[in-house]
Structure 1
């Protein structure tokens, strides 16, 4: 029986393009306890991710595997073709979650979302998701999709808290998946996080992840190719923040995005 719920923490693989390093990081993560692996057609590493899953001492049905179709391939027929190609590269018959990577390029709400429905109904993907959508785009998608929206993936961390999109996910009954949850390493220098980390004998990265994982409907996919950091990030599951800690992080008054939409490689 495949995993049907979304594990709280997953391994992000963006920019992990060396085939052996990527496969090793996936294998390391799964053997350390991760059960959620996130990739994308545009990351150019799906074959390596699939190889890492097969090499790990974990059954495939215990791994929640997500990938994304790139913006240039979101026309209805193209999306179906490219989703099947992703599954082939990953070496799986069924994806656990298939995302529309960005609502740009060839994205057309009617045709693109109809293709997602088609893939869901055909059983190629067990769940459908969106990524980098604005609230009004989410509302339109929810009106058009027949399949239930399972997840929306966006940049989210203590320096870019995404309160509106987190509320939208709670109210819509779907998951918000936080990418770049460590703000490209910047969380390690945030005084509030460092102070809380010292209090709990943890790291600032673990504090940032624990804060995210404590939010309703939120999962996180920190990326790393370093075994020690992969294990450190997973340790955030064992960290419990108290109400004062959470309030202190909630009160960080910064809105700093580390992924530039305009500079995205698909533009």
Structure 2
């Protein structure tokens, strides 16, 4: 299968959380680099494990504004599991997930920023949501040496989160990214030995080119030599044949980059 799909390794997660030295889980939701929008049952299971082992959850939700298939794979904030919901999820394999998780409130920190979706990363703007007052005091004490947000950062956040035009722009952006995603998946999946993730959120695509390249080839270096800058998988703990593509760009740029990828692979196959 040319497409990859990642799930949580539950035994490994529980073993890690059960370790007395584990005090906090830094949880990426939606996930970078594999683009998963975790389902409510998955989030509830993570939350219950953290509560059971008395571990804080720091949920990094910076990609939450960019679910590419919001109907089939919606973004759900960990904040949604604090209180009960009357919504019934058809075919839900975990009925308890439709209710709040007891003990989550006292252990939850949510981080986010308009930087990814609204392209304001240069303003160094981020925010933390800490629903529990006692935990909020601890977070504030730890962050007293943090840099101040500039007036431009506040203005950008207000525009991103409150201006109706910003929401219309976000929806147009998601539509554009979705078409770029489909184009990239089609092109890369057609290459023999290449496997890719069809991300449910973000503009990042995980690629495993191990079987498409000569044994031991570093994918990042190989494609850079072909004129395409990708992020190597090594920084994510993956093998040398893996990399991450950013498709958050103009279609013309994406087309040219993928053309170079295809040509580079064809060249090594021709020389074999």
* TM-score calculated relative to the size of structure 1: 0.30
Higher-helix-fraction structure: 1
